[in-house]
Amino acid sequence: MGYTLTIIGCGVMGQAILSSIYNAPRADDDLRKYYPSKIITCNHSASTAVSITKMIKGFGASPNEIEVVATYKNNLKAVSEAKVVVLGTKPYLVEQMLEEIQPVLENKILVSLAAGWSISKLEAYTKKVSRVMTNTPAKYGYGTAVISHSAAITSADRKLMNQIFGHLGLCIMLPEKNMDAATALVGSGPAFVLLMLESLMESGLKMGIPLKESRECAIKVIEGTAKMVGETGQHPSVLKHQICTPGGTTIAGLCKMEEKGVKAGIINGVEEAAHVAERLGRKL
Ligand SMILES: NC(=O)c1ccc[n+]([C@@H]2O[C@H](COP(=O)([O-])OP(=O)(O)OC[C@H]3O[C@@H](n4cnc5c(N)ncnc54)[C@H](OP(=O)(O)O)[C@@H]3O)[C@@H](O)[C@H]2O)c1
Tell me if 12 is assigned to a ligand binding site: yes
Q: Which atom of ligand 1 is nearest to the CA of 186?
A: 6
Per-residue pLDDT of the chain (284 residues; tens, 9 = 90+): 689 999 999 999 999 999 999 999 998 888 888 999 999 999 999 999 999 999 999 999 999 999 999 999 999 999 999 999 999 999 999 999 999 999 999 999 999 999 989 999 999 999 999 999 999 999 888 999 999 999 999 999 999 999 999 999 999 999 999 999 999 999 999 999 999 999 999 999 999 999 999 999 999 999 999 999 999 999 999 999 999 999 999 999 999 999 999 999 999 999 999 999 999 888 87
Looking at residue 144, its amino acid is T
Q: With respect to residue 104, please indicate whether it lies within any of the assigned structural domains.
A: yes
Is the distance from the beta carbon of residue 187 to the nearest atom of ligand 1 less than 6 Å? Answer: yes
pTM of the entire predicted model:
0.92
Residue 180 lies in a domain: no
Q: Candidates 6, 17, 48, 89: which one to mutate for ligand 1, based on the most atoms within 8 Å of Cβ?
A: 89
Q: Which atom of ligand 1 is nearest to the CA of 46?
A: 40
User: 162 with 208, same domain?
Assistant: no
Q: Residue 148: which domain range?
A: 3-174
Q: Among residues 174, 203, 233, which one ends one of the domains?
A: 174
Please tell me the residue having the least CA distance from ligand 1 atom 41.
Answer: 44
Distance from the CA of 11 to the center of ligand 1, in angstroms? Answer: 5
Q: Is 68 within 8 Å of 39 (Cβ atoms)? A: yes
CB 194 within 8 A of CB 136: no
Please work out whether the CB of residue 91 comes within 6 Å of at least one atom of ligand 1: yes
- Counting beta carbons within 10 angstroms of the beta carbon of residue 97, is it exposed (0 to 12), middle (13 to 18) or buried (19 or more)? buried
Same domain, yes or no, for 191 and 132? no
Ligand 1 center to 250 CA (angstroms): 42
Same-domain pairing of 62 and 162: yes
32: domain CATH number is 3.40.50.720
8 labeled binding residue: yes
Q: Same structural domain for residues 97 and 76?
A: yes
The CATH number that applies at residue 194 is 1.10.3730.10
Distance CA 201, CA 34 (A): 41
The rounded Å distance from CA 75 to ligand 1 centre is 14
Q: Give how many domains the chain has, as a whole number.
A: 2
CA nearest ligand 1 atom 27, residue: 44
Domain-terminating residue out of 174, 204, 237: 174
Instruction: Give the containing element (helix H, strand E) for 67.
Output: strand 67-72
21 lines ligand 1 (CB under 6 A): no
